[in-house]
Amino acid sequence: MTSLYFVSAEITDFAVDELSGITHQNGRLIIQDSGYYYIYAQAWIESYTGSYRNRVGITVNGIYLSFLQSGSNYGSVFSCATKYLRRGDYISLKTVYPSRLFMGKKHTFFGTYKI
């Protein structure tokens, strides 16, 4: 399943696995316990779009924290970060430029755990 996302579009069509201490809503992971978290994400770039390279960002409360960017026209990209998060903060993925992503469960995903 391939999905096309436009500039600054929050990605919401994720399959959700069992979560512990985190809730989810509309593609966002919502923190229930304050502390330091390791946040990770992978995106599978399906095609090159226009004059910009595909780029997806890990966001906290809608603000970009780290970027996943394709250096080629096809394949996976990964990024991670650590950050102190408070109860109620949310993590999501958001496009920077128009991007076509393969949204298979093993291809595009993100998550976090408390460290």
Three-state secondary structure string covering 9-63: CECCCCCCCCCCCEEEECCEEEECCCEEEEEEEEEEEEECECCECCEEEEEECCE
CATH number of the structural domain spanning residue 12: 2.60.120.40
Enter the pTM of the model.
0.83
Q: Is 108 exposed, middle or buried (0-12, 13-18, 19+ CB in 10 A)?
A: buried
Task: Among 22-31, 52-61, 80-89, name the one with the lowest average pLDDT.
Answer: 52-61
| Residue-level pLDDT at 45 | 80
**Domains: count for the chain:** 1
Which pLDDT band holds residue 27 (cuts at 50, 70, 90)? confident
Domain limits for position 71: 2-114
pLDDT exceeds 70 at position 84: yes
* Residue scoring higher pLDDT (18 or 77): 77
- % of the chain with per-residue pLDDT over 90: 40
What pLDDT, on the 0 to 100 scale, is given for residue 19? Answer: 67
pLDDT of residue 102: 79
pLDDT grade for 31, boundaries at 50, 70 and 90: very high
